[in-house]
Structures are given as structure tokens and as C-alpha cells.
Amino acid sequence: MDRLEVELRFPAPGGDPGDALLRMPVTLVSTPTAAYGANDIHVRDGRGLLSLRTEDAEPTPEGVYRHYLGDRAAEGDVTVAYAVTPRPVSSETRNGPLFDLRAQDGGLMGAGVYFFALPTVETPYRITLNWDLSALPEGARGVWSFGEGERSVTAPASTLAFSFYAVGAVASEPEAGADDFALYWLSHPPFDIDDLATETRALYTYMSEFFNDPGAPYRVFVRENPYPAGGGTALAQSFMFGYGAGGETTSGGLQMLLAHEMAHNWPRLNGGDPHALTAWYTEGTAEFYSSLLALRAGLLETDEFLDIINRRADAYYANPHLGLSNEEAGRIFWSDSRAQRVPYGRGFIYLTNVDAQVRAASGGERSLDDLVLTILARQKAGESIGLAQWVELLQAEIGDEAQAGFDAMTSGQALFPHPQSFGPCLRPVQASHRPFQLGFDEMRLGVVADLLPESAAARAGLAEGDEILSITPVREAQGDEDRMMEMTIRRDGRTYGVRYLPRGEPVSGWRWERVDGVPDSACAL
């Protein structure tokens, strides 16, 4: 399948000549989009053809938006038509958020943000989405984050952008895809998709009940990458994850990737604060609850949980941007993957401490759960909850410590685990480790890019621009401090082998350990 044709129909939004009729990103969080020119979009309204011109907004840390302005104000019903081809990708494509539209076996899969130019009006529409599959082979399917076939929702137009799509020879589990929970793919993955679906459904059911949203529909889209890396992105009622040809996903493994992205379906702050200032909550709650709820659901053993939280602690203390404030880190989120990881570790450690503080102050009667669920309940009632409301809620639990701890976290002060965190089963201890250091851009594993001159990779003979033919799975090297990185590269037409220990200098930090004599029955947390 080499193209996707789009037709939109909506009432004219009003306004003056020269006002923007449509908009879409040119780039979003480092990912390019279809970024149509004015002549690529055909518009008709009640008076006939309407010509467009484009204006690109000033860049922000998240990207650049393009506005499409009419040569006159639109009148009556508006029809917009355009077509998109999938993004060409290769082993050298940089890994990133799963926003682009890609060709897979027998179809297309991606996010609407790549190909939708949409009305600028943010008031809700009654959106009805239809698929015309008449030109495709029998059995072709069209799936949206909100379901398969024709679907209707009441939502802003931007919902079309921030949701996922799959069309063509789409397979699913369950096979009919009719359930409220389903997985969809085009290229058959190199892992047991049935087992994955069963485990993911069990965790999602547990999570949705915990967050007081039982039975909420959810869809998982699975996509193959042409490079040995994966990742995940959560959008409306759904997420997509990518995997490499060998099944590679992320350093935490497939289970934790799925758990993290599913957790994004609930906790968030919606008080209008900038993304950089609230990412600690979005990512921190996903890190905290992805592991904790998997443990509570019986999908993780205590020792597995311990390994996961220690990996997260290691990553936090080893991050060279640990000392940046939330605002400073946000400025370089999408140009430096290490800065992008700051809110993950910072939010996780901070919320772990908040949980311990609330438990201690209440004699074990309350926890972080109560704060997070209170925020969700107030948001469902129509209230906006931002940073100020978070501090107020926490002050009601632990007093003046709330503001001091929050300020320390947002300013980039190093955080240390509360002595009672994850107790009584676990306890924090000081520890040092040699952090994983691949030595070049971890988001681009088909070519050596941004090689660090002082790294073990450079000392072993790697050079900028080397084509990577094979590489030790990054997850395996991250999980074993003694595991050597073995690579085959091509340079100037010749093939070379490279071997090195992908570790940096020792870093001091904290980990957790089991408390002797405490049985597993006390580890429900």
C-alpha cells in the first residue's frame, strides 16, 4: 500500500479572511510529518474552491506547527482532501515516538499526527470516521484507536491527530477484534503474541479497576522497526509499540514497556502548566505504577520487582542531566535523549518518597494511591488539577515538607530514597555501579552517530558514520555489567568486528535490597 487518501467534512468555523483554517505539525518531538504544501490540500466550501497559503509558527521545544490560511473566509460546509505516502524508513532511521505513518506487510500503520491537517477549532465535534476499503483485497480492515470500521466520538478535532490507525491486512488478538481490549499488527512479530495479549489484558484489567475505570476500551498497535530497537507511545485509549527484527524493545523489556504505556491512560495533570514542568508526574506515575501494579496483580515476583526498581534508580543517578531543573531539561528533551529521561527517574524517586512520607504521616492508613485517585476523581468531575493543586493536596498529608520536597525536585536537586520506601519488605542502601554507556546515539542503531570521543566505543575503534550490520542486543548489555558489546560494522566497503565493555566510570547512588527475615507475604506493597 503506497498511499492513504483523506477527506474531511466539517462546518465552516467562521472567522475573518486570512484566519487559519487548518493546521498540522511539520515536526513533532523530533519526528517529521507529511507537512503538506498549500497546493497539496484541496478545499471546497459553499462558494466553491478555496485557495490556501501556509505560515509556519515559531519553533517550540516540542516542534513546529504549520497553519493553512484561506484566501477568504470559509462559508457553509467545508470539504478538504489530500493524500499521504508512508514515511521511508531504513536501518539508519533514528528511533523515536511512534508518530510516523509506515508501510508494513500488506498495509499502513501510524499516528494521525503524521498525516492529518485538521481544523484549528478546539471545541468538540461529533466525529464520525469511515474507511473506504473497496480498492483493497478482500479481508482488509481499518482500525482506529476508538475501534474498527465506522466509529463515532464527540471530541476535539485534535483527537484525530493524537490517535493511532492501521489499515490493510490487519491481524488481531482476539481474531475478530471486537472486544474492548485488542492487539493489532501487520507484520507478524517474532514473539508469542497470544501470550503477550493474555498477560497484557490481565494487567490492563487490574490497572483499569485500580484507577476506577473498569471496562474502559483499549487497543494496542504492534509495529516492526527496520533497526534493532523498540519503544512505545501512548495516545487516546491506545498505545503503539515497536520492536526490532530480533524482537528488541527497550531496556526494561516488553512487559514493562507495555505496563508503562498503559499506565499513561490515567494519571496526568491538566492545569495548563507547560509539559516540561509536569512530565515528572506523567512519567513518574507511569514508572511507579507500571511496576507496582504488576507486582500487586501477581504478574511480577518480588525479586523481579526489585530488579526493575533498581534499574530505574541506576538510570536516575547515572543520568548526566540529573542536576537540570525541570524547565532546563524540557528545553532539550527532543535534542538529547538523556534529558528526555530525566522526568522518568526524577518522578519515580520523588513519588516513591511521597508514598513513604504519606504512609509514615498517616500511620500506614494512606499512601500515594490516595492522592493519585483523588486527582483522577476531581478531574472526572470537571476540575483542572495542576502543580499548585498537587502541592496543596500533598500539604494536607505531610505539612510543610510538601513544598520543600517539591521545590527540591523541580530545581534538580539530587533525590535520595526515603528510609521507609517500599518497606518493610525492601530498604534503600547506598550503592555504586558502572552505568551503561553505548558510546553513541542509542536511538539510532543502524549507524554510529554522535560518537562520544572518550567512550569505550571510540577507544575500541568505532568511527562516526560506521554502518552497523549486527550488534549485541542493547537490553542484554544494559542488564549485565560484565556483558561485552560485540558489533559488526561496515566502513568504506570493508567489514570489521568491534568488541568493548559498554560502561562508564563508577557512579554513586542508591538501590533497594531485601530485608532479611521479612517474608514474601509482607511484600504486597
Q: Which residues pair with 508 in a beta bridge?
A: 432
Burial letters 58-68, b for 16+ CB under 10 A, else e: eeeebbebbbb
**What integer pLDDT is reported at residue 252 of this predicted model?**
56
Q: Which of 276, 283, 317 is nearest to 62 (CA)?
A: 276
CA atoms within 13 A on the CB side of 176: 3
**What integer pLDDT is reported at residue 354 of this predicted model?**
99
**What integer pLDDT is reported at residue 404 of this predicted model?**
97
Type of residue at 65: Y
Whats the size of the chain, residue-wise?
525
Phi, psi angles (nearest 5°) of residue 261: -70, -35
DSSP classification of residue 503: B
Q: Which residues pair with 168 in a beta bridge?
A: 107, 141
Pick the CATH number of 275-426 from 1.10.390, 2.60.120, 2.60.40, 1.10.287: 1.10.390
Phi, psi angles (nearest 5°) of residue 171: -100, 160
* Number of other CB atoms surrounding residue 103 within 10 Å: 19
**What integer pLDDT is reported at residue 250 of this predicted model?**
59
Query: 436-503 is classed in which CATH architecture?
Result: Roll (2.30)
pTM over 0.75: yes
pLDDT means per 10 residues, the chain with 525 residues, are: 96 87 94 97 97 95 93 95 97 90 96 98 95 97 96 96 98 84 93 90 95 93 90 92 79 80 95 96 98 95 95 93 96 85 97 98 98 98 98 98 98 98 96 92 90 96 96 84 95 97 94 93 83
Strands 107-111 and 164-168: antiparallel
Strands 218-224 and 238-243: parallel
**What integer pLDDT is reported at residue 370 of this predicted model?**
98
Find all residues with CB under 8 Å of 36, minimum gap 6, and list them: 24, 66, 82, 117
**What integer pLDDT is reported at residue 257 of this predicted model?**
87
Look at the alpha carbons of 411, 416, 419, 425 in this order and tell me if their dihedral is positive or negative.
Answer: positive
Cα–Cα distance measured from residue 428 to residue 133, given in angstroms and rounded to the nearest whole number: 57
Give a three-class secondary structure readout of 352-381.
HHHHHHHHHHCCCCCCHHHHHHHHHHHHHC
**What is the maximal distance between C-alpha atoms in the chain?**
80
**What integer pLDDT is reported at residue 251 of this predicted model?**
54
Query: In the chain, where are the structural domains located?
Result: 4-263, 275-426, 436-503
